[in-house]
Structure formats: C-alpha cells, structure tokens
Amino acid sequence: MEKEVKAIILGAGKGTRMKSTKPKVLHEIFAKPLLSWVIDSISALSKKVESIVVIGHGAHEVEEYLNHNYKYVKTTLQKEQLGTGHAVAQALPLLAGFRGLVIITCGDTPLITTQSLKSLIKYHLEHNSDLTVMTTVFDNPFGYGRIIRSAKGEIIKIVEEKDASESTKEIKEVNTGIYCLEWTKIKKAFTELKNNNSQGEYYLTDIIKWARDNSCRVLGYKNPDNREMQGINSRSDLEKAFQVMNQRHLDSLMDKGVTIYDRNSTYISPETIICEDSVIFPNTYIEGRNYISSGCKIGPMAHLRGNCEIGEGSKIGNFVELKNAKIAKKTNVCHLTYVGDAKIGSCVNIGAGTIFANYNSITKEKKLSTVADGVSIGSNSVIVAPVELKEDSFVAALSCITKDVEADSLVMNRVPQKEIKNWVKNKKEKIDYES
C-alpha cells in the first residue's frame, strides 16, 4: 500500500438484543470473539497496521481481552454513548500527527475479509477520493441507510430508514458502516459534527455532508458480497454469521482438494488449514487454529479444539477429541479417545477409550505427555501427564501410566484377572433356599 493505514474499530455498544452480560464484541464464533475476527482481517492488510478500538460497555472486560491477546492494538474509552461520530472522536488524540489513511469499521462485523478491505483502499487511492464509503446491495435493504449518488456517481448523502421517503426506500444500495478516510482532510469533521437530531447523537454518517461542504471528494466502493456486511445484533444474527463463515471456508477447502461429505454437519474454523486429499467425515467440529496435512481422515464425530497438528496420512476417528496435540504421520487415533497437551510420534496406534489426563484441577496446571514413534497404546488406558512413552513401547489395555516407559518395553499395571468358579450358580442357589 502506498500510504500508511490505521484503523478505528467501534466496539463500545452494549448489544441489548444479545440478552447477555457479556459485551457484544466478545461473543464468539469458532471460539474466537467477534472483535478478534475484525482485528485480524485488518491486521492482515500489512504488518504496520495499527488498530484503535473504541470501548464503552464492558470496557474493562474488552480491554483485558485485548491486552492479553494483542500487543499492537490500542483502546480509547467512550464514557458516554453519544453516537458513532462521537465514538470516532475519542480516537483523535491517538491519531495526532498521523497523515495516512484511516479505516473505520465496527467490531461486530466478523465476516469482513482482508481482501475486501484491500479492494476498498485500492479503489480509494485509484480514484483520488477523500472519503470512500464501502457500500453493498441487498434485495431487501430494510433497516439500512440508503446511498444517494449524484449523476457523476459521487455520494451525496446517506438516508436512514426512518427518514427515507417511499422512493428512497426503493434504493437497494446501502451503507455498510465501513469507511476509508484521508485523515488529514477529514479528521476536522469529528470536532464539528452536530447533534441536532431526535436522538441528540453525533452520527458518523454526517461526515458525508461535512466532507461535501468542505470540497472533499466522496465516493462509494460497492462490495459485491453483501454477506460480509452482516452485523451482529442478536443471537439469531450470530448463528447466521457462523453459518456464512463456515460455509465460505468449506467451499474454499473443497476448492483446494479436501473431501467434505456433508457440509450441513461439518464445522471448520477458517483458521484451520487442511491439505489436499484429506477427508472430513460428517458431524466433525474443528475450532481454533489447526494444521491438517494431506491424506488425513478426520471423523465422523470428531472434535478438534485448537492448536492441533495432524501429520500426513493420519486418522482421527469417531468420538475423538483433540486439544493442543501434535500428531506425526501415519498415526491412528481411531475412536472414543481424548488427547490433550500431547506430542505423538509417527506410526502410533492409540486404542479405543484412551484418555490423556493432562489437567490438575487443584493447581490448574496442564502438563505435556510425549509418545514416540511406533508406540502402541491398548484400549481403555490412561496416560497421566507428564510422562514419556519411548520408541516402540507397548501399553497393555486397561493400564494407567504414571511413569516414563522405556523403548521396546511392555508395560501394564492393571489388577490381575481373578476367576471364582461357580460364583453365580452358588448365589442363585442361596437365594432360592432363603426364599
């Protein structure tokens, strides 16, 4: 990009319709907050992009999350909810002396893509615009602000639904709430906006009029994918966005050579990379960041909870749950198994019902288990971390492993089988006698 870019993300709203004590922007899709999806799309524009999040409702909770997860994101507090224009104004001190482009967007639009933001910036620069509004088209635009253009195609104003005439309501091009600004030319608008409206608020959309009154060029970039514009205002909106995000990623995976047998029961985080010739069986749920190599088989009814790496040709079977697991090539974790905080080698076989006990509920610690190449673990075994099973060792079924196991060793610690002959017969005879 020819100019430095910074972003202002509006995240101060309460989200009343979510019916939740949690700030709206911290509600999750694929175990990742809505706000994170927006920040990450912006951050992917360039390593130098800095985001400023305007916080308000649940400010402490949002700020704590950002401080823990993002070193390059700043926050500014909107103490009073006086409108979107007022929210942007809170970022002015953090942009003192900045002379590049500013992207303004909302923290509750998780479907916006980096590519669309790049297209917005490219359009803005190529057309020498001072203020560019990202727009889109809906067959049913109810509730959105309508875009009014001049004969030359420039944007004259944005008319909100409640203020629109019948003819204006027929316009299908709408405001998405995403803007690209030449900051040195437009920043003054945020100190001059008026709140002479029925709500007594400072509207971000009023910068259109201010820009035109100050001889600035106002254009609109029309995003062809209106799904990206879906904001989250209710639990229903959250579900719809989740489905869009999932289906979009499934399409991408299938285009890259991944077999997915049932798109209606398969859920895969966009942060998961899956290589060609892998097969995803129905009722599989994959969240977080994961890497699945080529030729793998996942599911049916498997759950990957994030930070997992699956080596080439490995199989993760039905009713298997993985979390923070590194699994090398040609390893089988076939059924009814939990593997958490583990490093598994190649050509390992993990029997049904095996549990990696990785968590101490008293100390809250999670420990790592290591399983070397060629190990075989029998069914219904428990691997209690931290332990190491060395090359080609063999764990007998129904064992509880609490110590390291040497290479090529057989280990078992189950109670020896004991048989009492005629026990059932004697019990029945005693019952018959007493009755």
| Continuous H helices in 76-151 | 84-89, 114-126
| CA gap 175, 206 in Å, rounded | 12
Q: What are the Cα distances from residue 146, in Å, to 135, 138, 139, 177, 180?
A: 9, 11, 13, 11, 18
- Rounded to an integer, what distance in angstroms lies between the CA atom of residue 392 and that of residue 395? 10
The CA distance from 267 to 278, in Å, is 15
Q: Are 316 and 333 in contact (CB under 8 A)?
A: yes
Structure tokens at 278: 């892998």
CB 222 within 8 A of CB 137: yes
The span from the CA of 202 to the CA of 178, in Å, is 17
Distance CA 312, CA 22 (A): 40
| Residue 239: CB atoms within 10 Å | 12
Give me the residues paired with residue 290 across strands: 272, 308
For residue 367 the two structure tokens come to 């420990």
The answer to whether 369 and 350 are in contact (CB under 8 A) is no
Residue with tokens 């309460």: 14
| Residue 252, helix vs strand vs coil | helix
Q: Which residues are catalytic?
A: 335
Instruction: State phi, psi for 253 to the nearest 5 degrees.
Output: -65, -45
How many whole angstroms separate alpha carbon 147 and alpha carbon 133?
Answer: 9
Of 39, 77, 31, 13, nearest to 232 (Cα)?
A: 13
In the three-class reduction of DSSP (H, G, I as helix; E, B as strand; rest coil), residue 125 is classed as: helix
* Residue 175 CB contacts under 8 Å (≥ 6 apart), including other chains: 133, 135, 144, 145, 146, 147, 158, 205
